[in-house]
């Protein structure tokens, strides 16, 4: 060894001084052996050539040789080559002059070949010529000393590195933050390329490296399969042994971890495992990117590190969990409003923490006596608390009670009191641990809940609805008095019985049991109602019509606790509803079904024909001459006639057919499963019976016929409305053909197609009225004998199509008359014509503006009111320029209404013209009853005036009568110059016709007010 340390305290000094030693090389073997035996310790004697002459017994014992194996051998054989080369004078005496040499550290070889660390002191013996003749070697075994020194150094090194680990992690609370610091400390201490700590999964198949320490090499953090280590490594690590590989390529076979280590650049590894309860929990590994022989100390420090790191991590986790538990306990105490306190049994001292002081509303730090603790309780609870405390202190009986105490500010609290005895190691009770939980709010809530429950119970007992509750199995739990009355069961009798036994319901019509709503509610866990027309059969035999709903009862977590069934008696309402339904579907006068129900049945019949291709028929019946009965005898008598007709129709049809009154004097019949041939025969029978029937009232006797429209009800119709329209049209055709007859609808029926065309016009008229798509035209009326003072014209009407083209009035006005739209058209014309007049900048430019009114408007008193209100709101000068034209036929038909209307508007200054005069049979006679201003002679007399002497005579007569009653006359249809000359000769005041002026938009009439000369016309 290179180190020349001095001898230690274990050295054995020789028994002779080296200076006085005899020349041992000259001694005989026996004397030499005796000489050596006087030495203690390890001593060897050599000659000048380094040949061993003798050794001590201890020398032989330490190195493990026998004497005959040593004596005579070269001394250098027993030293390591390095020591012999470094210190040649140890194995052969030096030739230089000298005495005792100093000690040298060297290594000798034991018989096993193991080096033995020693310190050698050589004493060279010389002859008379100072030549070395031998040497005595005094040897001291320092193996134990060096091992102790090595262990001391290693211990100091481990202490330093562990101290550094402790210092680096002293303030680290998070267990996951310990690893990075620990790995860095270990890696730097060992000079490793990489250090890593791994957690092994519970299944033992995977391990995770959350952090690692690296020295300029890639990180290995990640998740790996444990089997990548190889079976040998996994086996050793699972047994808690350390796995050491100095050279991966040289020591490992493929499949035993070499592939994984090479993939991540590891050439050498020390891996220590941590096994708990026989389970591999963690590993710590030190890697090198080149081969390295690891010392036992490095392996041990790695093993100690994994133990220490795991202990620190578990400690931090325990501390963290403890802090978390303490925090949760504090939170729980605050949430539960818990206050702790204790009594030391040996001293009697009471300890109140701040929260307990706060509960009692005393200053923090207050330490009351036991009696003062009891004084806070209300008098009636004080003895109870004293008894609890005494028993717990005496025999350890715990207590849990609800008591009341009063704080220092006299605030009354409800508290739950807990008490538990704490014992020492000997089982002696040393402390009473108590806790208060403030339950004042809970008690208040319980009281409020009890009051609410009582209020609810009283309410349920008092309400008019029946209430039954059942448990999740469907057994009755409770029922209120109304439910008892309706079911016939008392609450006590019904409790625990299946609901279907107590609540027995059937269908009102079929009398079959219906589905129990409570069972459905429990199964589907939703609110369920009863089917319509449900009947409750009482235990006493009574029957009640009921309506109900069942709803699940849930707790705060949504779990179904049962079902509540609420129902009420609707027997009377159902009877009333049935009566109302009957009235809604039947005609009150005749007791036949009404139009609405008739149309519903027609729709069902039509749907059936589409479904099964069946054939049916419908009749639309309109009574002939019914108005005559009403006008002659009054409406009450007319009602009697309708009742007789209803009975006659019901007798004429089959029992399963349907007869309905559609309104007024109109009836409908549905013939179920009836061909059109059969339907014609039934319709003819009705006509015959109606024709034979005579209605007698007092001295009046009437014959009332029936016009019938017959339509097949089959697949050709899409809607019931189409069938009704066809039947109405067929009935109209029967009336047109002479009344009291049957007209059967056929697809080729011309009359019906014409009627349907008119019906299509009704839709267009309605749309034009809604969209304001009418246009006012005008035709001038020229003065024939006197100069005109302004515009005199008749207002005409056109309909505007969507494309802008105009429709002549002859196309749509007949339909308006037929379907009672004429009055609406007249309102539109009257309003727009008067607006036109009002908006004129110069009203004086107009002398007279004539507006035609239909016969429907003349007989419509609502129109009269509307027209009078409109005209009354106009300025007088506008009314004085208006003239309303009434046809002679309309005036005669509604003579009384016409006279009244003429009188009303005449009072407003509006003039009246009697249009188409001469068309009636008694024209002159009605002039006495009608206060009109102008006679407009019917065009049939004017157009043939020159060709028919009778027309000429009639016109002369009309003119004479007009002059007699001071009326102006107007000749219509003036279309030839010679006719114009003749009417002027006859003294007619005004002329109107295409010869004089062709109709044009009303706004253009004022463009030229200068009248054309007759000659130019």
Q: Are 934 and 915 in contact (CB under 8 A)?
A: no
pLDDT band at 658; cut points 50, 70, 90: very high
The CA-CA-CA angle for residues 513, 518, 521, to 5°, reads: 120
Q: Assess whether pLDDT exceeds 90 at residue 917.
A: no
The answer on pLDDT for 51 being more than 50 is yes
Predicted local confidence at residue 100, as pLDDT: 46
Instruction: With CA atoms as reference, report the closest residue to 566 among 458, 460, 456, 455.
Output: 460
Q: Average pLDDT for residues 870-875, to the nearest whole number?
A: 93
Structural element, H or E, at residue 150: helix 143-169
Distance spanning both ends of the chain, measured CA to CA: 159
Q: Which pLDDT belongs to residue 892?
A: 66
953 touches 946 (CB < 8 A) = no
Q: Is the pLDDT of residue 786 over 90?
A: no
H helix runs in 588-675, sequence order:
595-612, 626-633, 635-652
Q: 900 and 918 in contact (C-beta within 8 Å)?
A: no
- Which among 264, 226, 422, 262 is positioned nearest to 340, based on CA atoms? 422
Give the per-residue pLDDT at 18.
Answer: 44
Rounded percentage of the chain residues whose pLDDT exceeds 90: 31
pLDDT band at residue 333 under the 50/70/90 scheme: low
Question: Could you give the 3-state DSSP secondary structure of residue 548?
Answer: strand
Q: What is the pLDDT of residue 151?
A: 75
Q: Average of pLDDT values for 477-486?
A: 88
Beta pairing, strands 279-288 & 268-276: antiparallel
Per-residue pLDDT, 553: 82
Confidence check: pLDDT of 17 > 60: no
Sorting pLDDT into bands at 50, 70 and 90, what band is 612? Answer: very high
Instruction: Give the rounded distance of the alpha carbon of 344 from its chain centre.
Output: 60
Tell me what the mean pLDDT of segment 663-689 comes to.
Answer: 92
Q: According to the model, what pLDDT value does residue 1012 have? A: 44
Tokens of 927: 């002039």
Residue 939 in contact with residue 972, Cβ under 8 Å? yes
pLDDT of residue 336 exceeding 70: no
Asked if residues 208 and 226 have their Cβ atoms less than 8 Å apart, the reply is no
Buried/exposed 906-943: b ≥16 CB within 10 Å, e otherwise: eebebbbbbbbbbbbeebeebbeebebbbbbbbbebbb
Residue whose token pair is 């009986």 = 397
The position carrying tokens 């220092």 is: 408
pLDDT in tens, 415-454: 989 899 988 878 899 999 898 888 888 888 778 777 766 6
Asked if residue 998 has pLDDT above 70, the reply is yes
Token duo for residue 327: 């925090």
567-600 pLDDT tens trace = 888 888 777 777 787 888 888 889 999 999 999 9
Percent of the chain with pLDDT over 70: 89
CA dist 951 and 955 (Å) reads 6
- With a CB cutoff of 8 Å and minimum separation 6, the contacts of 489 are 479, 497, 502, 539
Residue-level pLDDT at 379: 93
The residue among 522 and 947 whose pLDDT is bigger is 947
* pLDDT(9) > 50: no
Most confident of 320-334, 747-761, 823-837: 823-837
The confidence score (pLDDT) of residue 865 equals: 92
Query: For the chain, what percentages of helix, strand and coil (3-state, to nearest 5) are there?
Result: 45, 25, 30
Average pLDDT over all residues of the chain: 83
Q: How far apart are CA 272 and CA 303, in angstroms?
A: 5
CA 53 – CA 70 distance, rounded (Å): 9
pLDDT in tens, 271-315: 888 888 888 888 888 888 899 888 888 888 888 877 877 787 788
Q: Which domains, ranges and CATH numbers included, belong to the chain? A: 29-148 (3.30.450.20), 171-319 (3.30.450.40), 345-417+425-433 (no CATH), 466-549+556-575 (3.30.450.20), 589-756 (3.30.70.270), 759-1006 (3.20.20.450)
What gap in Å lies between CA 722 and CA 705, rounded to an integer? 26
pTM score above 0.75: no
Does position 98 have pLDDT exceeding 70, yes or no?
no
Confidence of residue 264 (pLDDT cuts 50, 70, 90): confident
Best CA proximity match to 780, nearest among 1008, 567, 959, 574: 1008
**What does the pLDDT read at residue 1?**
39
For residue 847, how many other CB atoms are within 10 A of its CB?
16
Element (H, E) at 568: strand 560-569
Pick 79 or 218 by higher pLDDT: 79
Q: Is 456 exposed, middle or buried (0-12, 13-18, 19+ CB in 10 A)?
A: exposed
pLDDT at position 4 over 50? no
Residue 108 pLDDT more than 90?
A: yes
- What pLDDT shows up at residue 202? 82
DSSP 513: B
Beta pairing partners, 340 = 435
Please provide the DSSP assignment of 760-778 as one string: HHHHHHHHHHHHT-EEEEE
Report yes or no: 274 and 310 within 8 Å, Cβ to Cβ.
Answer: yes
pLDDT digits (tens, 9 = 90+) for 494-530: 899 998 888 888 887 788 888 778 778 877 778 887 6
Decide if 806 contacts 775 (C-beta within 8 A). Answer: yes
Q: Are 689 and 601 in contact (CB under 8 A)?
A: no
pLDDT band, residue 661 (cuts 50/70/90)? very high
């Amino acid at each position: 060894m290179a180190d020349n340390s001095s001898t230690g305290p274990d050295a054995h000094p020789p028994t002779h001084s080296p200076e006085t030693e005899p020349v041992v090389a000259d001694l005989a073997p026996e004397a030499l052996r005796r000489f050596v035996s006087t030495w203690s310790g390890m001593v060897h004697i050599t000659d000048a050539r380094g040949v061993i002459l003798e050794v001590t017994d201890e020398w032989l014992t330490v190195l493990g040789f026998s004497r005959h194996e040593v004596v005579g051998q070269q001394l250098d054989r027993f030293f390591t080559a390095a020591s012999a080369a470094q210190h040649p004078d140890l194995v052969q005496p030096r030739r230089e002059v000298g005495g005792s040499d100093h000690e040298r550290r060297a290594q000798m070889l034991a018989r096993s070949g193991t080096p033995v660390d020693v310190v050698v002191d050589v004493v060279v013996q010389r002859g008379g010529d100072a030549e070395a003749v031998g040497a005595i070697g005094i040897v001291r075994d320092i193996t134990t000393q060096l091992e102790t020194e090595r262990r001391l150094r290693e211990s100091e090194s481990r202490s330093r590195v562990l101290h550094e680990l402790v210092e680096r992690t002293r303030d680290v609370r998070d267990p996951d933050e310990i690893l990075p610091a620990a790995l860095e400390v270990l890696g730097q201490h060992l000079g490793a390329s990489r250090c890593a700590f791994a957690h092994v999964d519970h299944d033992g198949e995977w391990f995770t490296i959350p952090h690692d320490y690296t020295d300029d090499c890639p990180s290995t953090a990640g998740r790996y399969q444990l089997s990548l280590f190889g079976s040998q490594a996994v086996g050793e690590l699972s047994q808690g042994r350390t796995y050491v590989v100095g050279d991966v390529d040289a020591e490992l076979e493929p499949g035993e971890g070499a592939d994984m280590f090479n993939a991540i650049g590891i050439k050498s590894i020390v891996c220590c495992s941590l096994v708990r309860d026989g389970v591999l929990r963690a590993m710590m590994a030190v890697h090198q990117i080149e081969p390295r022989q690891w010392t036992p100390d490095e392996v041990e420090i790695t093993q100690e590190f994994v133990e220490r790191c795991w202990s620190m991590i578990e400690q931090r986790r325990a501390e963290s969990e403890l802090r978390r538990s303490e925090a949760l306990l504090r939170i729980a105490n605050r949430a539960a409003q818990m206050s702790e306190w204790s009594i030391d049994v040996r001293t009697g001292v009471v300890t109140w923490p701040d929260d307990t002081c706060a509960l009692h509303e005393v200053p923090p730090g207050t330490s009351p006596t036991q009696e003062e603790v009891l004084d806070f309780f209300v008098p009636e609870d004080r003895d109870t608390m004293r008894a609890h405390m005494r028993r717990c202190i005496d025999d350890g009986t715990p207590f849990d009670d609800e008591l009341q105490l009063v704080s220092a500010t006299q605030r009354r609290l409800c508290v739950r009191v807990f008490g538990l005895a704490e014992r020492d190691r000997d089982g002696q009770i040393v402390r009473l641990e108590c806790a208060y939980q403030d339950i004042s709010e809970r008690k208040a809530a319980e009281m409020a809940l009890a009051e609410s429950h009582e209020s609810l119970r009283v309410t349920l007992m008092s309400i008019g609805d029946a209430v039954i509750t059942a448990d999740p199995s469907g057994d009755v739990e409770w029922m209120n008095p109304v439910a008892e009355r309706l079911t016939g069961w008392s609450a006590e009798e019904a409790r625990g019985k299946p609901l279907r036994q107590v609540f027995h319901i059937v269908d009102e019509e079929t009398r079959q049991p219906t589905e129990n709503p409570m069972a459905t509610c429990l199964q589907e866990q939703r609110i369920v109602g009863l089917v319509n027309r449900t009947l409750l059969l009482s235990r006493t035999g009574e029957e009640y019509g009921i309506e109900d709903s069942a709803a699940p009862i849930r707790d705060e977590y949504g779990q179904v606790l049962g079902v509540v069934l609420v129902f009420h008696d609707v027997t009377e309402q159902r009877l009333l509803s049935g009566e109302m339904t009957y009235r809604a579907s039947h005609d009150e006068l005749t007791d036949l079904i009404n139009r609405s129900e008739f149309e519903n049945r027609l729709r069902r019949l039509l749907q059936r024909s589409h479904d099964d291709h069946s054939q049916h028929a419908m009749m639309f019946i309109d009574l002939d001459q019914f108005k005559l009965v009403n006008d002659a005898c009054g409406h009450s008598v007319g009602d009697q006639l309708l009742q007789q007709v209803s009975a006659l129709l019901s007798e004429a049809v089959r029992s399963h057919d349907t007869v309905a009154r559609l309104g007024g004097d109109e009836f409908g019949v549905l013939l179920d499963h009836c061909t059109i041939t059969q339907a014609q025969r039934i319709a003819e029978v009705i006509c015959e019976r109606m024709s034979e029937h005579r209605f007698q009232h007092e001295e009046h006797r009437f014959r009332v016929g029936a016009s019938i429209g017959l339509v097949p009800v089959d697949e050709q119709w899409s809607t019931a409305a189409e069938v009704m329209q066809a039947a109405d049209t067929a009935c109209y055709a029967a009336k047109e053909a002479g009344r009291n007859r049957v007209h059967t609808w056929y697809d080729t029926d011309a009359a019906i197609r014409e009627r349907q065309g008119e019906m299509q016009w009704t839709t267009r008229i309605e749309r034009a009225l809604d969209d304001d798509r009418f246009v006012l035209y005008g035709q001038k009326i020229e003065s024939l004998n006197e100069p005109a003072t302004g515009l005199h014209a008749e207002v005409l009407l056109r309909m505007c199509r969507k494309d802008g083209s105009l429709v002549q009035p002859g196309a749509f006005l007949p339909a308006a008359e037929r379907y009672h739209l004429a009055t609406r058209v007249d309102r539109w014309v009257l309003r727009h014509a008067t607006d036109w007049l009002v908006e004129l900048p110069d009203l004086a430019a107009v002398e007279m503006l004539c507006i035609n009114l239909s016969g429907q408007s003349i007989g419509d008193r609502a129109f009269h009111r509307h027209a009078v209100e409109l005209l009354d709101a106009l300025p007088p000068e506008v009314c004085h320029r208006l003239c309303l034209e009434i046809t002679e036929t309309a005036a005669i038909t509604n003579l009384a209404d016409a006279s009244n209307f003429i009188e009303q508007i005449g009072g407003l200054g509006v003039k009246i013209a009697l249009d188409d005069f001469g068309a009636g049979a008694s024209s002159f006679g009605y002039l006495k009853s009608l206060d009109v201003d102008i006679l407009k002679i019917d065009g049939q007399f004017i157009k043939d005036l020159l060709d028919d002497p009778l027309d000429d005579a009639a016109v002369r007569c009309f003119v004479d009568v007009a002059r007699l009653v001071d009326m102006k006359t107007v000749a219509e249809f003036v279309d030839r110059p010679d006719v114009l000359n003749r009417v002027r000769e006859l003294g007619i005041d005004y002329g109107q016709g295409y010869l004089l002026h062709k109709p044009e938009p009303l706004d253009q009439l004022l463009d030229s007010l200068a009248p054309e000369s007759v000659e130019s016309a």
